[in-house]
Amino acid sequence: MLSCTESLLQIWEKKPDGEVIDIADAMMPLTLKIAGLTLFSTDISDEESVFGKAFRTGFEFISYKMNNLPTEPMWAPTPRNLRFRQAVQTLDDLVFDIINKRRQNPTNNHDLLSLLLDDEIKGYFIPKGSTINICQYIVHRHPEFWDNPEKFEPDNFLPSKVNQRPKFAYFPFGAGQRICIGKSFALMEATIILVSIFQRFRLELVPQQIELDPTFTLRPKNGVKVKVWKRS
């Protein structure tokens, strides 16, 4: 982004002071150039290029559709619709050409396309479309992120400790688009239940071997025995 903007500014540097420029005209190719480089490592900003022309046709078509209601249906073979279809075909051809070339020469250009195609994580080849499961049990006990990972250690959740860990070292409710919708509910529920119990009782863990039952959720196989003491 910076180098694209810098190239534009270098052109401006050569202009005499006070020269009038059309800033809107200048920003369009700049942002298009940045988008093309970020997505495909390809400069698509040249207005005279096939890509530039097809892009402008598509852009004009969408503006026309948004600003003139109602318009002819998409299936009608009007000159405008045909021009639009041709532009979409041109853009598709160009994008698929970029994808095919990248597949033949799989370099990681750190652009969006590289993220969408095959990947490599720490030397492991990950084919495009793979499903990756991240095991909470392991991450939540990983010595790289936790002091005394096998021990019940509430201090691990002090803000000063939390700030030292990567954000997703602890993700009991998942993360991203499908994050648990009951997260706030469950946290509030746990707080209310625990506060209600501990206001009136003290619990003491009975020494025992707790066996895990990893089914749909992780549960203790034979329960967790505690002694209950009333608080006086």
* One residue of 27, 116, 134, 175 binding ligand HEM per CB under 6 A: 175
Query: Shortest Cβ distance from residue 66 to ligand HEM (Å)?
Result: 32
Instruction: Judge whether 51 and 91 are in contact, CB under 8 Å.
Output: yes
Residues in contact with ligand HEM, counted by CB under 6 A, come to a total of 11
Shortest Å distance, C-beta 186 to ligand HEM: 4
CB contact at 8 A, 63 and 36:
no
Residue 71 burial by Cβ neighbours in a 10 Å radius (0-12, 13-18, 19+): middle
Task: Mark 123-162 with x for binding to ligand HEM (rule: CB under 6 A) and - for no binding.
Answer: ----------------------------------------
CB of 113 to ligand HEM, least distance (A): 25
- Give the containing element (helix H, strand E) for 13: helix 2-13
Distance of CA 130 to the CA centre of its chain: 16
Does 170 interact with ligand HEM (rule: CB under 6 A)?
no
Cis peptide bond prior to 70, omega within 30° of 0: yes
Q: Using CB under 6 A, which of 43, 52, 71, 173 touches ligand HEM?
A: 173
Closest approach of ligand HEM to the CB of residue 131, in Å: 12
Rounded (to 5) percent helix, strand, coil in the chain: 50, 10, 40
- Residues binding ligand HEM (CB under 6 A): 172-175, 178-182, 185-186
